[in-house]
Amino acid sequence: MGIEVVTITAGGGNWTAFEEINVHAAFNKAARSFSMTIAAELGGSATNAVFAVGTEVTVSANGDLLLTGYVDSREPSFAARRAIIDVCGASKSADLVDGSAEHETGQFENKDPLEIGQEISSNYTAKFETDQQLEKVEQYQLTPGETCFRCVEKLARQQGMTITGTPEGNAKITKANGQRQSGGLIEGVNILAGTAHHNGSNRHSKIVVRGQRPFGHGDDNLEIEAEEQDSAVKRHRAIVIIQDEDTTKDRAKKRAKNRKNRAAGNALKATILTQGFRDDGGMLWTPGYLVWTESQFLDIAQDMLIESVDYRQNDSGSIATLNLVDPRAYDGQGGGGGKGNKSGGDWDMG
């Protein structure tokens, strides 16, 4: 891989005088984050002014945008022969995560999660967006003090979606759609270090979802129940989930299926360190993408989904830390279900 030039834009100028920088991007987090240690190149006062709390910043690698956000904290420090400033921040969508929803009535009818999200966040710079076809929600009542993210996330989750932060600073309602990185992560080739987690403690043989509607009558509204079986769990191990929000029979079925798949997927995770920020085709490692992962020692040989990436650069070079998960955690194909998959047999689909 070629040299990765990381550039921070702040205060109207470009900044490259840092000792270390790390950008964290996750498929299951609505906001990206960054931290960096910079040298006081312009002197203490001038450098502090450039990175004042609230300053808008962008971070890019070889021209590819990684993050658009703001400085949240700044910690200058000095000793006899060293003067540095530690700067941390998050993407613009952090305001949607932390900021309360604002709406005149708080009541919504026949609107999808994106439409609701756009209405409750109209005063914020960051926006909700989606690349999916979302279902309409018949009725929704905003809880006083509820954050924008909390409102939209629970509605999106009912439809099998997640909310991820974009490089531009928005929050995208999305789901894994089979997009793939070039090449793979192979032991002895491009894996510098790795750890695997094989853990089935959150899987259950039977998943039952129960709920009811806040209006209507009859069993279809008052006694809603759906069930899924995970045959990979060989002993009786049941879980009953009570759906607090308004639900339907179809939503309960989807919730039960999602719960089974997510538990199966989360039973296999891995953390991989690799040189550089990019795959064999020159594309940035991207949360939500699939990558073929093969390590005899880690007992993994299958497609894994990139759940999060840490892009870190310091005097040791550019290193990407990839947190991977079986794609079933995000309703994808994984475990023993995909052609060529040869991971540990404990992780059958069931």
Least confident of 34-43, 185-194, 318-327: 34-43
Which of these CATH numbers, 3.30.1920, 2.60.40, 3.40.462, 3.30.160, describes 206-261? 3.30.1920
pLDDT at 58: 98
Pairing label, strands 180-186, 290-295: parallel
pLDDT at 45: 85
The full length of the chain comes to: 350
Contact 118, 126 (CB under 8 A): no
Class of domain 6-91: mainly beta
pTM above 0.85, yes or no: yes
Q: Whole-angstrom Cα distance, residue 145 to residue 125?
A: 19
pLDDT at 215: 64
Kindly report, as residue ranges, where domains of CATH 2.30.300.10 are found in the chain.
Answer: 6-91, 180-199+267-347
pLDDT of 97 over the 50 cut: yes
Percentages helix, strand, coil for the chain, rounded to the nearest 5?
20, 45, 40
pLDDT at 16: 81
pLDDT of 338 over the 80 cut: no
Least confident of 24-38, 117-131, 151-165: 151-165
Give 346's DSSP letter.
G
- Over residues 209-224, the mean pLDDT reads 70
160: pLDDT confidence band, cut at 50, 70 and 90? confident
The domain covering 96-174 belongs, at the CATH homologous superfamily level, to: Baseplate protein-like domains (3.55.50.10)
Q: Whole-angstrom Cα distance, residue 142 to residue 152?
A: 10
pLDDT of 65 over the 70 cut: yes
Tell me: the pLDDT tens digits for 1-10? 568 999 999 9
Kindly report, as residue ranges, where domains of CATH 3.55.50.10 are found in the chain.
Answer: 96-174
> Among residues of the chain, what percentage have pLDDT more than 70?
91
Which of these CATH numbers, 3.40.630.180, 3.60.15.10, 3.40.640.10, 2.30.300.10, describes 180-199+267-347? 2.30.300.10
